[in-house]
Amino acid sequence: MRTARALASLVFTLIAFGGCADPRPTVPFTRFAELEIEPSQLAQYTAAVKEEMATSIRVEAGVLAIYAVADRENPAKLRFFEIYASEAAFRAHIASPHFKRYVETTKPMIRSRVLRDTIPIQLSDKEGLYEQR
Amino acid sequence: MRTARALASLVFTLIAFGGCADPRPTVPFTRFAELEIEPSQLAQYTAAVKEEMATSIRVEAGVLAIYAVADRENPAKLRFFEIYASEAAFRAHIASPHFKRYVETTKPMIRSRVLRDTIPIQLSDKEGLYEQR
């Protein structure tokens, strides 16, 4: 009886405090990108990238966030901040058919592209999505 | 009886579909910042900014997210991507006592700072926090 109770307590502890832990690692993989778009192609590019972002978030478990903004002074200069569950999730993303299609479609619309690999210092948001665990 | 039922139905509809709507506007205010820190001061700066970020998220309703990352090639080069509920929320943030204290404390640790006002194109994440409504 005592053994059964101890076992039940252990099972509860495992379930409550670790057995079903969030699969995201403590430190996600983050990346910045800066793109300058051909001004005459901006509407087409924006439509393509919005669709690619939405698809990635919907179908890829490891794509946690992709934020796209335009410079206020130069709307053809776009900046992206991306959060992946891991570097492997990022590698899977750039190998995905929808990402490859986006690259192919938008190649002639992009004047320049700078990619910056980064290391997260702290990712703070209202929902505490990326809090150190 | 019919009136009471209709009223109850109306109250339910208001609560479920609009009465308690999310107060965040459709288009949040976003900003990028690039800072280069004195390498010898990096640990002190990082501690100060992490505390300031955590405080802002905790006490300011309009500070939705502050993401801080370091360049992989140059850890003293930090990049920030910030999401506020509105431009007014951003103005309130930079006028807050904790932000002013952070600016005062870290001023001698910062070599250079570039701030970029931006316009959101699309902010996609797993929780759909900023979806167009």
pLDDT tens-place string over residues A29-44: 999 999 999 999 999 9
What is the model's pLDDT at position A94?
A: 97
pLDDT-derived band at B8 (thresholds 50, 70, 90) equals low
Interface residue ranges in chain A relative to chain B, Cβ cutoff 8 Å: 30, 32, 46, 49-50, 53-54, 56-57, 63-73, 75, 78-79, 81, 83, 116-127, 129
Residue A17 has pLDDT above 70, yes or no: no
Burial label, B92 (beta-carbon count in 10 A; 0-12, 13-18, 19+) = middle
Is-contact A79 A25, C-beta < 8 A? no
What is the model's pLDDT at position B26?
A: 56
Structure tokens at B113: 């700072």
Is-contact A103 B58, C-beta < 8 A? no
Phi and psi at B101, nearest 5°, equal -65, -45
What is the model's pLDDT at position B19?
A: 43
Radius of gyration of chain A (CA): 20
Query: Domain spans of chain B?
Result: 23-118
pLDDT-derived band at A131 (thresholds 50, 70, 90) equals confident
Is-contact B29 B89, C-beta < 8 A? yes
Query: In the CATH scheme, what is the code of domain B23-118?
Result: 3.30.70.100
Instruction: List CB contacts of B105: < 8 A, sequence separation 6 or more.
Output: B48
Question: What count of Cα atoms within 13 Å lies in the side-chain half-sphere of residue B107?
Answer: 6
- In this prediction the pTM is 0.81
> Which of A49, A124, A127, A129 to mutate to test binding with chain B, by most B CBs within 10 Å of its CB?
A124
Instruction: List CB contacts of A21: < 8 A, sequence separation 6 or more.
Output: A133
- Residues B16-54 have pLDDT tens digits of 444 444 554 557 999 999 999 999 999 999 999 999 999
Interaxial angle between packed helices A42-59 and A97-106, expressed in degrees from 0 to 180 and rounded to the nearest 10: 170
> Which of A49, A73, A125, A132 to mutate to test binding with chain B, by most B CBs within 10 Å of its CB?
A125
- Other C-beta atoms closer than 10 Å to the C-beta of B43 total 11
Instruction: Collect all residues of chain B within an 8 Å Cβ-Cβ radius of residue A49.
Output: 121-122
Question: Distance (Å) from the C-alpha of residue B130 to the closest C-alpha of chain A?
Answer: 10
What is the model's pLDDT at position B27?
A: 74
- Residues A55-106 have pLDDT tens digits of 999 999 999 999 999 999 999 999 999 999 999 999 999 999 999 999 999 9
Q: Can you tell me the distance from the alpha carbon of A93 to that of A62, in angstroms, rounded to the nearest whole number?
A: 8
Q: Is B130 helix (H, G, I), strand (E, B) or coil?
A: coil
Q: Can you tell me the distance from the alpha carbon of B111 to that of A86, in angstroms, rounded to the nearest whole number?
A: 31
Query: How high is the mean pLDDT of chain B?
Result: 86
Please compute the mean of the pLDDT values over residues B50-69 and round it to a whole number: 97
DSSP class of residue B109 equals: G
CA nearest to B49 within chain A: A122
What residues form DSSP beta bridges with B36?
B77, B112
Structure tokens at B97: 């006592």
Q: Give me the percent of chain B exceeding a pLDDT of 90.
A: 74
Please compute the mean of the pLDDT values over residues A106-130 and round it to a whole number: 95
Tell me whether residues B68 and A125 touch, CB distance under 8 A.
no
What is the model's pLDDT at position A88?
A: 95
What is the model's pLDDT at position B58?
A: 96
What is the model's pLDDT at position A4?
A: 59
Residue A14 has pLDDT above 70, yes or no: no
Q: Can you tell me the distance from the alpha carbon of B116 to that of A69, in angstroms, rounded to the nearest whole number?
A: 11
Interface confidence, given as ipTM, is 0.80
Tell me whether residues A125 and B67 touch, CB distance under 8 A.
yes
Residue A120 has pLDDT above 70, yes or no: yes
Instruction: List CB contacts of A80: < 8 A, sequence separation 6 or more.
Output: A31, A32, A33, A34, A35, A66, A67, A68, A69
Interface residue ranges in chain B relative to chain A, Cβ cutoff 8 Å: 30, 32, 46, 49-50, 53-54, 56-57, 63-73, 75, 78-79, 81, 83, 116-127, 129
Tell me whether residues B124 and A67 touch, CB distance under 8 A.
yes
Is-contact A61 A88, C-beta < 8 A? no
Instruction: Collect all residues of chain A within an 8 Å Cβ-Cβ radius of residue B54.
Output: 122, 124
Residue B3 has pLDDT above 80, yes or no: no
- Residues B72-109 have pLDDT tens digits of 999 999 999 999 999 999 999 999 999 999 999 999 99
